[in-house]
Structure 1
Amino acid sequence: MAGMCPIRVIVADNHQESIDIMKRVLTSLPEFQLIGQCVNGEQLAWEVIVKKPDLVLTAIKLAKKNGLEAMKECLAFLPSLKVIFITGYDEYAIEAFSMAAVDYLVKPVEEGRLGQALEKAKNIIEFEREKIGNGPTQQQKILQLRDQTATLFIPLDEILFIEKAGKKCLVYTKKEIYDTPETMARILPRLDDSFFHGHRSYIINLEKISQIIPQKESFIVHFKDYDQLAKISKLKMNEIKKLI
């Protein structure tokens, strides 16, 4: 559909042959964009939390966490996510469809059959996008804050993170850093699900993370094309994984 954003896809399988087939079919279809590939269920759950794809193609027999478990966690975190299961076993079909899977393919995967499943996913995703696009959710979500002299109106999708600094909070966007005397406890309920209180001094926009690097007792969070860094505590890192 003209002007439609690409459908962002993550694939997961521990067999390279399956990954190659999925990649080959996806790259032949311009409306799809492959944004990640995973070899186990834990990695899949983590990639979904950080990258928020539209669609996942996954095997069911995966190491560390099977594909069904991983997708249950992902759907709790991202309910709009669509999934196509690809497996050598047909006994999981009922459970897969109870999770509203778009399709369930039994290996060996035929490229034509995978193409049909992707077409089905595309139609569902485009229909939902149009529905949302025509509805009231198109309005931009705004965080309203007091600063020292006025009221600030900051679009939520521009906020990278919020930091507690003494008795005030700093709100970081790429354009500017705003400061407010309001507390984290007051700000947090006004944010949406993209934001996570990852450290006693930081609230982070999960959609803006480019990298998370372990460092001693915490994890350092990097943002795309931005120099300032945030932190997630070790304890909260486990909570993020459970959140999904």
Structure 2
Amino acid sequence: MKPIKVILADDHPESIEIIKNLISDLPDFQFIGQCENGVQLVEIVMVKKPDLVLTTVPFPNKDGMQAIKECMSVFPMIKVIFITGNDEFAIEAFEIGAIDYMVKPVNKERLFQALMKAKNIISYERDKTGNSPQLQQKTLTLKDQNAILFIPLVDIFFIEKVGKKCLVYTNKDIYDTFETMGRIITRLDDSFFHGHRSYLINLEKISQITPQKETFIVHFKDYDKLAKVSKLKINQMREQISL
């Protein structure tokens, strides 16, 4: 069986170490990361795409319940086990489909019981789909000045570097971030092409390409904004489109 990837979230490092040590005894589970608050939890889930999250609820900035709901909005098949200090959030936890809800302190047998339940559910879903349960829509995770953005790749027409910012053009809005083009490109799939030092273009959105002096202008389906492709990259881009 392919290992079940696990992330632990708790603001008490000793709690994480205890659970991490218990999980290390189970060959079907693979620990891939940890964090200590809700904001970090959302960030690490978006990057590492775990199968299972074990988290507490109370955090000082964004609580674990809110963080898990944000994660599930992008990765609806993700599984969660809540391990927290009281039963205050139990009803809400099960309403969002939590595998289990445990009140600290948790003994080894009780934790293993919850993990085996998670394993059985994830195994069933993998057998049913023939692959990983992560069938959710691919997204680009970005930080802007005020929040973390989760933008579906299918919504993006192109990304443009303007000064120190990058602008992400979608059918809903234009988002800006101070993240570099180099960092962004590592989070995109093969439908995007780096056709110009200032542009990343979604090949699936192109309607036509027209020459203009030393560059080529890219037009998009049902979208009035334009992008550019350099003369040096145009042939490579045409080859990518024809694949």
- Common topology (TM > 0.5): yes
Question: Counterpart of 2:160?
Answer: 200
Higher RCO structure (Cα 8 Å, ≥6 apart)? 1
Separation of aligned partners in 1, 2:46 and 2:90: 25
Please tell me whether the aligned partners of residues 42 and 70 of structure 1 are also in contact (alpha carbons under 8 angstroms). Answer: yes
Q: How many residues align?
A: 161
- Give yes or no for the alignment of 1:40 onto 2:1: no
Q: Which runs of 5+ in 2 are unaligned?
A: 139-150, 169-176, 188-192, 200-243
Change (3 A) 1:91 1:36: same
Deviation at 1:26, TM superposition (A): 1.1
Q: Residue 195 and residue 52 in structure 1: after superposition, are their counterparts in 2 closer, same or farther (change >3 A)? A: farther
Percent identity between matched residues is: 49
Of 194-203 and 59-68, the range deviating more from structure 2: 194-203
Give the 5 Å matches for 1:97-116.
Answer: 97-116=94-113
Identify if the C-alpha distance between structure 1 residues 83 and 108 changes in structure 2 by more than 3 Å, giving closer, same or farther: same
Q: Deviations over 1:15-39 (max 9, x none)?
A: 1121012101111101111111000
Give how far 1:53 is off.
0.6
| Counterpart residue type for residue 51 of structure 1 | K
Residue in 2 aligned with 1:13?
10
2:119, 2:15 → 1: CA distance? 21
Contact 1:45 1:73 in 2 (8 A): yes
Give distance in 1, aligned partners of 2:198 and 2:31: 28
* 1:84 paired to 2:44: no
The structure whose Rg is larger is: 2
Letter in 1 for 2:73: A
Q: Paired residue for 2:93?
A: 96
One-letter code aligned to 1:106: V
Superposed, which structure 2 residues align to 1:155-194 within 5 Å? none
Match of 2:123 among 123, 126, 149: 126
**Does structure 2 retain, via aligned residues, the 8 Å contact 1:196–1:203?**
no
Alignment partners' CA distance in 2, 1:33 and 1:194: 28
- For residues 195 and 22 of structure 1, what CA distance do their matches in structure 2 show? 38
Question: How far is 1:115 from its partner?
Answer: 0.8
Secondary structure of 2:69's match? helix
- Computed over aligned residues only, the root mean square deviation of the Cα atoms, in angstroms, reads 3.4
Q: TM-score, normalised by structure 2?
A: 0.58
- Tell me, in whole angstroms, the C-alpha distance in 2 between the residues paired with 1:66 and 1:129: 30
Equivalent of 1:53, from 28, 47, 50?
50
Q: Aligned-pair distance for 1:130? A: 0.3
Task: Give the TM-score of the pair, scaled to structure 1.
Answer: 0.58
Gaps of 5+ in 1: 138-156, 158-191, 205-215, 233-244
Between the aligned partners of 1:111 and 1:119, the Cα distance in structure 2 is 12
AA partner of residue 16 (structure 2): I
